Structure 1
């Protein structure tokens, strides 16, 4: 069964020359081969300000965020691809997510201080694909994949996404062309299955 998929390329630099760009292309290619509908968000070229006050967070964001987040609203499955920077999401990706969620897009019930927020992304699944220079096993087991867990729980699951799956890709700089080719094939297969 075909799905509507939104691929969010969270690499902060514009230019299409990073492995996150190749991963985004591979997932899209696999998904389109299987007849899935694909939209894309690339934060690299966006001028993204920071949400700085409660009033900022209560209002809908400015363009281009307002239009770009509509792609998330229309998708059944969100794929977020990003590099691990200083142990977490790049600041520009975090700023995009904060701006996109403003105005009650991700969470309802925010106007009642006594109510628990209600996730508005229920019925949507997600996959996080994280690249890094260190070995993926070291990130997962020695460092506990804390930032990935925080993103899964504190952003995706609280917003209602489920299931939220992840793929950790380590040693990106040292894996060579053959290694990258294998990883790209694996990500294409994820796209084909819309996982």
Structure 2
């Protein structure tokens, strides 16, 4: 199975090691997920938004091209190609002000182009979109936050999952949407955080190939 990992943190995936002032728990979780997927024999393709110097800003030229089902940025075109080749997509990012960082939102805005990633169906009853990512079987979120899980889910209403699941991939028809949330991380002991990392690697190492499951 081909799994596309989209990692968003200013320190990049290179900050996965536990080096003071150069470490990111988001990167550590993402790296564990990638290791687990590769242990299971999956093809792990990694997009590191900061390392790629991806701009989240939808420019005038971008928007004109978006309306014409075209792309002007070669990096966006490359991301679209890799998205079309993926069986599963995993987003990893910290929660800031209850939502995703700008680069992840920009990925949604600039990469999910109408006419390329999805079609809009005029006068459709119900969901007005048709998914063009025909091989994509699911999306997973790995979110890291200082907020308690219950507070984020019930008080704030889980904005990140609403945006990425209900408002984006679910809207275009992608099913199998899953969320792994690493909450209250600043209150965890080093051993508890290490346990989270270990459990993440084990989870992805246990993933089965969705293509073989669907062929049965």
Moved more, 172-181 or 77-86: 172-181
Match of 2:28 among 4, 22, 28: 22
Moved more, 161-170 or 14-23: 14-23
Match of 2:96 among 85, 97, 100: 85
**In the alignment, what sits opposite 1:50?**
57
Matches within 5 A, 1:98-109: 98-109=109-120
Deviation at 1:189, TM superposition (A): 2.1
2:171 is the counterpart of 1:161:
no
Deviation at 1:145, TM superposition (A): 1.3
**In the alignment, what sits opposite 2:4?**
6
Post-superposition Cα deviations, 1:64-87, rounded to whole Å, max 9, x if no partner, equal: 221123222111111111111111
Matches within 5 A, 1:137-176: 137-176=150-189
Deviation at 1:13, TM superposition (A): 4.3
Whole-Å Cα distance in 2 between the matches of residues 77 and 168 of structure 1? 18
2:141 is the counterpart of 1:128:
yes
Post-superposition Cα deviations, 1:146-186, rounded to whole Å, max 9, x if no partner, equal: 33223211112123321101011111222132111111112
Whole-Å Cα distance in 1 between the matches of residues 94 and 65 of structure 2? 27
Matches within 5 A, 1:55-74: 55-58=64-67, 59-74=70-85
Question: Normalization by structure 2: what TM-score?
Answer: 0.79
| Structure (1 or 2) with the larger CA radius of gyration | 2
Deviation at 1:103, TM superposition (A): 4.9
The alignment of Structure 1 onto Structure 2 pairs a total of residues equal to: 191
In structure 2, do the counterparts of structure 1 residues 113 and 13 end up closer, same or farther at CA, with 3 Å as the change threshold? farther
RMSD: 2.1
Instruction: Please tell me whether the aligned partners of residues 83 and 130 of structure 1 are also in contact (alpha carbons under 8 angstroms).
Output: yes
In structure 2, do the counterparts of structure 1 residues 143 and 157 end up closer, same or farther at CA, with 3 Å as the change threshold? same
Instruction: Please tell me whether the aligned partners of residues 61 and 100 of structure 1 are also in contact (alpha carbons under 8 angstroms).
Output: no
Gapped runs of 5+ residues in structure 2? Answer: 16-22, 209-216
Deviation at 1:101, TM superposition (A): 1.0
Match of 1:96 among 91, 102, 107: 107
In structure 2, do the counterparts of structure 1 residues 9 and 61 end up closer, same or farther at CA, with 3 Å as the change threshold? farther
Runs of 4+, deviation exceeding 6 Å: none
